[in-house]
Structure 1
Amino acid sequence: MGVEHPKGVSLWSITMPNAQNEPRLRWERHLEAVVPPEMRAALNDTGVADQAAELWEELYARSERLAIRALDALPDVLRRCGEDLLVPWLDLAVSLAASSGATTMKYLRESPWLLGMMETVADRQAAVHYALELADAPSEVAANCAYEFLRHAPELVSLVGREQLARWAEIGLALAEANYVVGIEFFRESPKIAAVLDVEQVRDWVEWGMKLIVLNSLGKPDYVGTLEFFRTSPQLLAALPDRTCCPLVIRIGSRLADQSPEKALAFLADIGNILQRISPPSQHRMVLHYGAQVAERSAAATLAYFQRCPELFHQMAWETEDREIAQVFEVWVHGGLEVLEYSIEGAVSYFSLETARALTSVEKALQGVALRHVRRSLTWFARLICGEEIAIEPLVEEEVIPHASPHQSDAHSIGRGRPVFDLETRTLYLPVFMNRYAELERNFRWYTVMTAHEVGHVAFGTYCLDASLLQKMAQAVAKRYGRLPGNGAPVTTLADLFDLYPQPGMIQDLWTILEDARIDARLQHEYPGLGSDLAVLSKELAEARSLLHGMSVREMVIEALLVKLVHGGLPPAFPRDLYPLMDQAWARAQAIQAPEATPEDTVRIADQIYEFLEQSVGTVSLAASPQAQTLDPRDQTGSSTIALGPRAAEETTALYRPVTNWAYRGTLRPDWVGEKSLAGEETVGTGEEGRQPRASTGQASPRQLNTESNKPGKPASLAQEALQEEHASEAQPLKQWLQGGEVPGTSRWTREGRVFLYPEWDYRLQDYRVSWCQVVEHVGAQENPDRVRAILEHHAPLIRTLRRYFEAIRPETWRRCAGQPEGEDLDMNAVIQQAVDQKAGIEPTDRLYIRRDKRERRVAVALLIDLSGSTGRQIESGAGRVIDVEQEGLVLLAEALEAIGDHYALYGFSGQGRDDVRFIVLKDFAEPWRLQGMQRIAAISPQQQNRDGAAIRHATYKLLCCEARHRVLLVLSDGKPLDDGYLDEYALEDTKRALSEARQAGVVPFCLTIDHQAPNYLARMYRDVHFVVLKDVNQLPDRLPGLYRRVTRV
């Protein structure tokens, strides 16, 4: 019932009585002015008028201003809420006025429209009732809590129902008693929370938030973290892919907050994005379940665990069937939980995928063959087949093949786990992991068959085609179909030729199938052992192959050719009515399996079959013909063994759909096949038919394309931009591990130089931190060599002596080898000994000759010098700095080595932190000493710190790349290893392990130190290698050449 002010009546004139008038009189006069008679009668009959008058009088007694404001709001209350709510509404105003006039004023102003937003009278009454209970609570903040509760009650009641309002009010009041601001914030955010959590979960959520309270610098509680949690967590929880995961997330976050509020907030901020990146979503609860177990023991390990889960699942989804993902994941998690039993730091490293143990556990759990383990043998295998170097590289799922030909769909050009060959760079990209089978041998067979088939195209001339045939074919096809090359361009490649056909996709399918079959047949003929592997694999694939409903007759014939060429039989569901047609197609196709078949034969036969099918079949669709009834309904499901693509061609019209090739075959590129091969470009291969052009196609390699696609661009949205920035900097150690990124020598180029990644030994974990150190190799600066010339002049007599000494120990060109079974001269000592043996009745030796053998020293030496800041200290004798004496030693040793002719290199190292280990090339093995080496030696200066282990590993790698019979590493240092996070026992143990690795690799390490305190730690660090301590640094120039001769005695 509407209530309106009488026209011409001023509310203020009515409600401002004289001072002697009673409040009741004022109330009644106001009702007469603003309430219709019918409503007044109802209010009087029910007794509401009297109750309301008493409450208004009480409010008036507290504040005349508030009472007047209540009269102002009275018409709206009656109009929006009805007379039933008048008394509770005034009662709440009186209770609020007892605590806060300002809050009461806001209540009277806003409550009419707030209550009017609720749909039912019962909802309004419940909201006012619980607000009244809050206002009457014995708390200083009760009024504010009641007001904030009422403000958000309309939205809250729509989400949780009026039955739950009391519990929300109770929780909010309890929070407010602990801290007023926290309680008020709870009520303000309650609708957002209610949209995500049930009230049963809210208490756990609140408990998590209250654990974020910390003490400030004054020792008082700081609620900033809790307030931020209340404001942001509802939105973050709402972003979870599955709301049913909220209780687990809250449980984990609450446990983390017990240990570290900061890590709990970090977990909350990241968990939504982390789960979104984990596929399949069905595994989210498992991830959280194990995360809760980790959280019970370590917050740091929990964050590491969740940060690496997306990468782990990403790799498993690529390498593993869905049913196996949980099993593999559990193996990895249980390994980390075992480490967590004895070392939190070890568990953090494990779950961060920083240790070899963690990565190996995943690799073993995948139960397959990693490319990094077989890459070398596959490289030799490829070289054996095609007679040239073919690089084997890992194919990661983000990479794509070089730009597809005009008849190929990029989306289907490469399927899961298929090889990709880049002709321009002679690189074969293979899956990083192979686990199609439980048996390792069968997985390795896939790798070998993939490799053999792809490099077989190089060995047996797929990319070489007679130019005259190409032109003749182009003329014949153009005449037959009346089609001219696009834009009048000449026909120079097979792709150009295929464009002349009405169905380019169909002719390309035929050529691809036939050429792949020719290569397989040649491989089986040339390599019988490989032929058996191909036969076994082909049989498996053919038996799993099935036809799909809706295929046209031509599509079915081409599909049947694909199967018959590898298996010898037709698909089980092939319609009998098409047997005559298939027999004629097969009569033409089978010639391709002859050992003498050539690439030209492939093109001719493909053309013949194409023309035959065009004339014999037309455009009849099998799906609309009676033959369709012979198809097996099971064929609709396809086969997981076949996998997706590569499509040999794309559907250019509705009349032809491409065929899916066998899973071990890559995509053939007709645009790479043409008369370029006969245009005088460089050719490689084996035999006449194996000539192969190194034609520049203008296409990028898979890695180049991947790099291009990752270049910063304009993302579609700010969210995409944020994700792009996040993932661009995110390292993926599991991918690097499976791709072989931990192998020394794996590098990339940056502005500052070539960057290498090396592991580091952590003695506390008894494990390697994988790819932990980044060694930046760059060429040393150059200066005027006057300093070096001064050294040469000062030590001229010593240098002359050293040169004569080292020239004297240079091996002669020939050496006499006595006691040989054959040779040029008699060994008189052996002859005499033979006579003595005969007299004594001892069986004489037949080694009576002297043979002259060519003697080669073949020594490679790397001198690694510490350039840390400590080398800038002054020597006690006043003879300069340590680095000045090191300079002299290097110059004298270099002059000596020039005399003996050994291969040698001079390196310096320093840096700051594990991500910036500087490896400075002063003279590499192939560089001359004169001028360049001198200029760089002259420029050396004290730098920063020294992380010895990483520098030793890189120097070892440099030595192993050098062809030599004996390899020696001389390490010159002036003190303990010292770097950020590289101290004391940790640094000593890693350096010791790096030297041991060098020795195991066949390098002889020798360490020379000029640290006075060396005996305190050298015995442990250099226990397994030879070392010398120089007490007087001035001895270095004199001692270094002599020590070198001791170490390199061969």
Structure 2
Amino acid sequence: MEHKDPTEEELIELIGSRFSGSTCCNNFISVLEKSNSTYHAELLITARMLLDKDLMLAGVFFENLPEAAANTGPDGIRKWAGTGIKIFDLDKDLAIDYFSFSAVLLKDLDVSELEEWALNGISVFEEDPALGRPYFSMKSKRSKEFIEGLNGSAALNDIISVLRYYALGLSGVNFNILSRRMLQMEEETNSINPVIAGKTIYLAPMIKRYGDFEDNFRIYKLSIMHEIGHVQFSSHKIELDGAAGLMSDIRSRYTTTKKRTYLSGMQPEGIIDIADIIALYPNKALAGTILGILEDARVEYRIMEHYRGVRSDLERIRYQMLLTRSAPKGNLEEFMESLLWVSIGHEPVHNLSKGTKGLLDKTRPLLKDRIFHEGSSILDSLDTTFRIYTMLDDQMGPLSQKEYEVLKNIDYRGVDIGAYSKKDPFSSNLHENIIRNFIPESEVELTAEKERPQEEKVKHHSTYATDKNWKTLGSYMYDEWDDVINDYKADWCTVNEIEPFGMSSDYYKDASEKYRHEIALIKHVFNEMKPETFRRMKEQTDGTEIDIDAFMDALIQKKCGINPDDRLYLRWDKHERDVATLFLIDVSYSTHKMVGYEEKSIVDVEKDSLIIMIQALESIGDKYAIYAFSGQTRDDVEYFVIKEFDEELSDNVARRISVLEPVSNTRLGPAIRHSIRKLDKVDAKTKIIILLSDGEPFDTSRGESAYKERIAEEDTRIAIKEGNAKGIHFFCITVDLNPGKYLDNIFSDAGYTIIDDAGSLPERLPMLYKRITT
């Protein structure tokens, strides 16, 4: 009997019956209704093909179809589905992951690039099936790096260090440049606008606007330069005296506005926020947009005038990005888009009405006189905003009754995180959010802090440090090795570097007095380790003096008929000890446990050990630094700075040691990676990390963030290998009397020792150090 394909109605009815109560059928019908005849036919063929293959596979396809259809044509949908079927023939679960996670990639990749990514995933799976799932579910670093490397795109991970130095070189400011993925709130992946939070710039993880890598790279550079301009030349707050005349003019023109207007927040006396001035206008959204355009243009002009050497390189890209903008609809929209063009020195390419041309003729002299000159300020932008607003009001007004589509800024320009984090940025405090979409706040303030997304706050603030009112010096992202997927989880852990603060150094002084005899003895022992400045080397083949003893031996040998040795010289060899040691101290909660006959806590024993060790190291002259670590979850590994390598021993160091106490968990891998980062910058022939700990690596996190047993052990072992590759040696000293197998698993290639009596650690640590470093 001849097989007959179902009609469209029959197919829809079949999908409805198979996926009753789900969105699958609605998704399919919705895409069908929006498609042309060619697309329509392709969708029907693809749907039949998947239904014949597997019901669950078809369901996942229908669920993700709208997102894929929004970003590719009929041929793309068929190829997307065809690739999924290839994967299904290999493994059903992989194919389901492919359809679940790949539709969103079509926003950044064309379908052939997506196919290339999938084929690479198939190779990964065939090499090791355990690696296939994390690859297609976008959890493995290998998968993300392959995507970012496609089609001449500029991948942020590859150039992030260059961008940081670029920003530092231009401004002298240490900007923290991170991927927007860290915000974990991406919705518009087509958007490449940076997100700005104080001195942190979140950039798109990949830019592939152009086929040429250098042009995509220039977009990143243009974004950096623009934000540097805002930091150096812009501000959200100005002196009230300077703005008083302008505010009076606005009020006298628009009498419907009350004299005592809304204030965005409590300000210092004599200071006003620019949002409070914009609040005086009847149409706040329009006034805020005009100000945003002018202020962006002003700071860009000033920064490019300041660094003319890079201007020509970036100007072409800026113009190309203007050319990709859509033609405006509506008179007000037409003028605002045209204002954007002329504000950066270009004439609009879209057709202009007679009214817009007349307004632009009046606007250009204002820009030339007030915006485009050295020394211009935010007050000039505010004053020019008033003049342009009143011109529009005279020609198109009253503007208070006008509605228009708010202009979107050029893609390379940043958005303040306070506006970016709002699902509907124009729902409340309209003008404030519009201003932030153009003029990010260069310093993080209390109001901006409250508006940050929760995930971002967790990643960059130490809970313990905040409670103690201690200073967070910086936040650093690190990969973490996952033994299950046999790959790194990219940017998985945040290490918050913290400077402890205490009022008293009494603990340090008391311990120094208590152990004064031990310190004196250890100093004597260590002084013997200190090399002489020059060492006499005898029996050398060349040198500055004759070795009399060797010369006499040679004469005797010659008399006896023996060919004498030619090593007849003395040489003075300069011999220096060149060691840099980083002490990493575990201050997890378990260090509160009492040990020894004195009933001291483990953390106090560690502190005593450090105090004795410091005195010994000071006597020998070795380079050394001391850090402690603990933390809560992967987003808050706390790294306490006790003494930096280039820091002198002082009362500050004594106070930091004195204030140390048990904190929380032991997520050891990130702490080691941050220590490697520290030690890698030190110039020394021998580099060592000595870990003082009371137990195995462990974090109370659950689910995907879990960190215990095999996962924690392997991550720590891999972190040590990363250090070994940089020439850094490791040694672990533990007071854990029942370590099981974890010490061997982690430190078998590094070295470790178990101190069976924790109370003896202060006396034994210097001796161990002597053995390790000689």
Task: Tell me which interval the TM-score lies in, with the shorter structure as reference length.
Answer: 0.5 to 0.7
When the two structures are aligned, how many residues end up with a matched partner? 647
Find the aligned partners of 2:246 and 2:448 in 1 and give their Cα distance.
26
User: Residue 1000 and residue 316 in structure 1: after superposition, are their counterparts in 2 closer, same or farther (change >3 A)?
Assistant: farther
Counterpart check, 1:536 vs 2:311: no
Give, in angstroms, the shift of residue 334 of structure 1.
Answer: 0.8
Where structure 1 has 5 or more consecutive residues not aligned to the other structure, the ranges are 1-192, 206-232, 255-263, 402-410, 621-650, 672-691, 709-740, 780-787, 819-829, 834-849, 873-878
User: Which of 348, 357, 364 is the aligned partner of 2:133?
Assistant: 348
Tell whether the 8 Å contact from 1:248 to 1:288 is kept in structure 2 after alignment: no
Report the identity percentage.
19
The CA deviation string for residues 534-581 of structure 1, in whole angstroms up to 9 with x for no partner, is 4213332444556545425xx645543432332443535235686565
Tell whether the 8 Å contact from 1:366 to 1:435 is kept in structure 2 after alignment: yes
Give, in angstroms, the shift of residue 475 of structure 1.
Answer: 1.9
Tell whether the 8 Å contact from 1:349 to 1:769 is kept in structure 2 after alignment: no
What is the correspondence of 1:273-672 to structure 2 with a 5 Å cutoff? 280=70, 288-302=81-95, 304-306=97-99, 309-310=100-101, 312-314=102-104, 316-317=106-107, 320=108, 324-365=109-150, 367-395=152-180, 416-422=191-197, 425-463=198-236, 465-485=238-258, 492-501=272-281, 503-544=283-324, 547-551=327-331, 556-571=334-349, 573-575=351-353, 582-591=360-369, 592-615=371-394, 617=395, 652-654=400-402, 658-666=406-414
Aligned to 1:836: none
Give, in angstroms, the shift of residue 998 of structure 1.
Answer: 1.1
Find the aligned partners of 2:639 and 2:273 in 1 and give their Cα distance.
47
User: Residue 904 and residue 618 in structure 1: after superposition, are their counterparts in 2 closer, same or farther (change >3 A)?
Assistant: closer
User: Residue 303 and residue 793 in structure 1: after superposition, are their counterparts in 2 closer, same or farther (change >3 A)?
Assistant: farther
Tell whether the 8 Å contact from 2:493 to 2:670 is kept in structure 1 after alignment: no
Structure 1 letter corresponding to 2:191 = R
**What is the DSSP-based 3-state SS (H/G/I as helix, E as strand, rest coil) of the residue aligned with 2:296?**
helix
What is the correspondence of 1:56-75 to structure 2 with a 5 Å cutoff? none
User: Residue 778 and residue 251 in structure 1: after superposition, are their counterparts in 2 closer, same or farther (change >3 A)?
Assistant: farther
User: Which of 883, 888, 895 is the aligned partner of 2:612?
Assistant: 895
**What is the DSSP-based 3-state SS (H/G/I as helix, E as strand, rest coil) of the residue aligned with 1:997?**
helix
Tell whether the 8 Å contact from 1:803 to 1:895 is kept in structure 2 after alignment: no
User: Residue 1013 and residue 298 in structure 1: after superposition, are their counterparts in 2 closer, same or farther (change >3 A)?
Assistant: farther
User: Residue 832 and residue 575 in structure 1: after superposition, are their counterparts in 2 closer, same or farther (change >3 A)?
Assistant: farther
User: Residue 809 and residue 531 in structure 1: after superposition, are their counterparts in 2 closer, same or farther (change >3 A)?
Assistant: same
User: Residue 488 and residue 900 in structure 1: after superposition, are their counterparts in 2 closer, same or farther (change >3 A)?
Assistant: closer
Counterpart check, 1:960 vs 2:677: yes
Structure 2 letter corresponding to 1:417 = I
Aligned to 2:550: none
Find the aligned partners of 1:586 and 1:372 in 2 and give their Cα distance.
41
CA-atom RMSD in angstroms: 6.4
What is the correspondence of 1:766-781 to structure 2 with a 5 Å cutoff? 767-768=487-488, 770=490
Find the aligned partners of 1:1020 and 1:564 in 2 and give their Cα distance.
65
User: Residue 795 and residue 436 in structure 1: after superposition, are their counterparts in 2 closer, same or farther (change >3 A)?
Assistant: same
Find the aligned partners of 1:936 and 1:584 in 2 and give their Cα distance.
66
Give, in angstroms, the shift of residue 365 of structure 1.
Answer: 2.6
User: Residue 806 and residue 448 in structure 1: after superposition, are their counterparts in 2 closer, same or farther (change >3 A)?
Assistant: same
Aligned to 1:61: none
Structure 2 letter corresponding to 1:551 = N
Aligned to 1:860: 582
User: Residue 702 and residue 274 in structure 1: after superposition, are their counterparts in 2 closer, same or farther (change >3 A)?
Assistant: farther
The CA deviation string for residues 462-502 of structure 1, in whole angstroms up to 9 with x for no partner, is 54645334111222333344344365668944444444445
Tell whether the 8 Å contact from 1:758 to 1:774 is kept in structure 2 after alignment: no
Tell whether the 8 Å contact from 2:64 to 2:103 is kept in structure 1 after alignment: no
Structure 2 letter corresponding to 1:527 = Y
Give, in angstroms, the shift of residue 340 of structure 1.
Answer: 2.3
Aligned to 1:197: 14
Give, in angstroms, the shift of residue 528 of structure 1.
Answer: 0.9
Find the aligned partners of 1:885 and 1:705 in 2 and give their Cα distance.
35
User: Residue 477 and residue 289 in structure 1: after superposition, are their counterparts in 2 closer, same or farther (change >3 A)?
Assistant: same
Counterpart check, 1:998 vs 2:723: yes
**What is the DSSP-based 3-state SS (H/G/I as helix, E as strand, rest coil) of the residue aligned with 1:242?**
helix
Find the aligned partners of 2:522 and 2:768 in 1 and give their Cα distance.
12
Find the aligned partners of 2:494 and 2:355 in 1 and give their Cα distance.
67
The CA deviation string for residues 338-396 of structure 1, in whole angstroms up to 9 with x for no partner, is 12223221223322434332221122136422334444443444445455454434446
Find the aligned partners of 2:451 and 2:367 in 1 and give their Cα distance.
33
User: Residue 354 and residue 461 in structure 1: after superposition, are their counterparts in 2 closer, same or farther (change >3 A)?
Assistant: closer
Find the aligned partners of 2:589 and 2:738 in 1 and give their Cα distance.
18
Tell whether the 8 Å contact from 1:811 to 1:856 is kept in structure 2 after alignment: no
Give, in angstroms, the shift of residue 1037 of structure 1.
Answer: 8.2
Tell whether the 8 Å contact from 2:609 to 2:761 is kept in structure 1 after alignment: no
The CA deviation string for residues 814-844 of structure 1, in whole angstroms up to 9 with x for no partner, is x8999xxxxxxxxxxx9999xxxxxxxxxxx
Tell whether the 8 Å contact from 1:862 to 1:905 is kept in structure 2 after alignment: yes
Find the aligned partners of 1:360 and 1:348 in 2 and give their Cα distance.
16
TM-score by length of 1: 0.48
User: Which of 481, 499, 510 is the aligned partner of 1:760?
Assistant: 481
Find the aligned partners of 2:517 and 2:480 in 1 and give their Cα distance.
45
Larger Rg: 1
Find the aligned partners of 2:466 and 2:261 in 1 and give their Cα distance.
49
Structure 2 letter corresponding to 1:533 = D
Give, in angstroms, the shift of residue 458 of structure 1.
Answer: 2.7
Structure 1 letter corresponding to 2:104 = H
Structure 2 letter corresponding to 1:704 = P
User: Residue 759 and residue 526 in structure 1: after superposition, are their counterparts in 2 closer, same or farther (change >3 A)?
Assistant: same
User: Residue 364 and residue 476 in structure 1: after superposition, are their counterparts in 2 closer, same or farther (change >3 A)?
Assistant: same
User: Residue 748 and residue 269 in structure 1: after superposition, are their counterparts in 2 closer, same or farther (change >3 A)?
Assistant: farther
Find the aligned partners of 1:809 and 1:766 in 2 and give their Cα distance.
44
Where structure 2 has 5 or more consecutive residues not aligned to the other structure, the ranges are 1-9, 30-43, 264-270, 420-440, 468-474, 500-507, 537-542, 547-571, 645-650, 700-705
Aligned to 1:241: 27
Structure 1 letter corresponding to 2:341 = V
The CA deviation string for residues 862-881 of structure 1, in whole angstroms up to 9 with x for no partner, is 36799999x99xxxxxx99x
The CA deviation string for residues 402-442 of structure 1, in whole angstroms up to 9 with x for no partner, is xxxxxxxxx99x993223444xx344443333221122221
Tell whether the 8 Å contact from 1:988 to 1:1021 is kept in structure 2 after alignment: yes
Find the aligned partners of 1:416 and 1:234 in 2 and give their Cα distance.
36
Find the aligned partners of 2:348 and 2:203 in 1 and give their Cα distance.
30
Find the aligned partners of 1:699 and 1:857 in 2 and give their Cα distance.
45
Find the aligned partners of 1:604 and 1:858 in 2 and give their Cα distance.
58
Tell whether the 8 Å contact from 1:297 to 1:340 is kept in structure 2 after alignment: no
Tell whether the 8 Å contact from 1:197 to 1:246 is kept in structure 2 after alignment: no
Give, in angstroms, the shift of residue 443 of structure 1.
Answer: 1.4
Find the aligned partners of 1:509 and 1:908 in 2 and give their Cα distance.
47
Find the aligned partners of 2:405 and 2:587 in 1 and give their Cα distance.
66
Aligned to 1:84: none
User: Which deviates more, 987-996 or 468-477?
Assistant: 987-996
Aligned to 1:30: none
Give, in angstroms, the shift of residue 888 of structure 1.
Answer: 8.0
Structure 1 letter corresponding to 2:218 = R
What is the correspondence of 1:4-23 to structure 2 with a 5 Å cutoff? none
User: Residue 749 and residue 546 in structure 1: after superposition, are their counterparts in 2 closer, same or farther (change >3 A)?
Assistant: same
What is the correspondence of 1:915-954 to structure 2 with a 5 Å cutoff? 925=643, 951-954=668-671
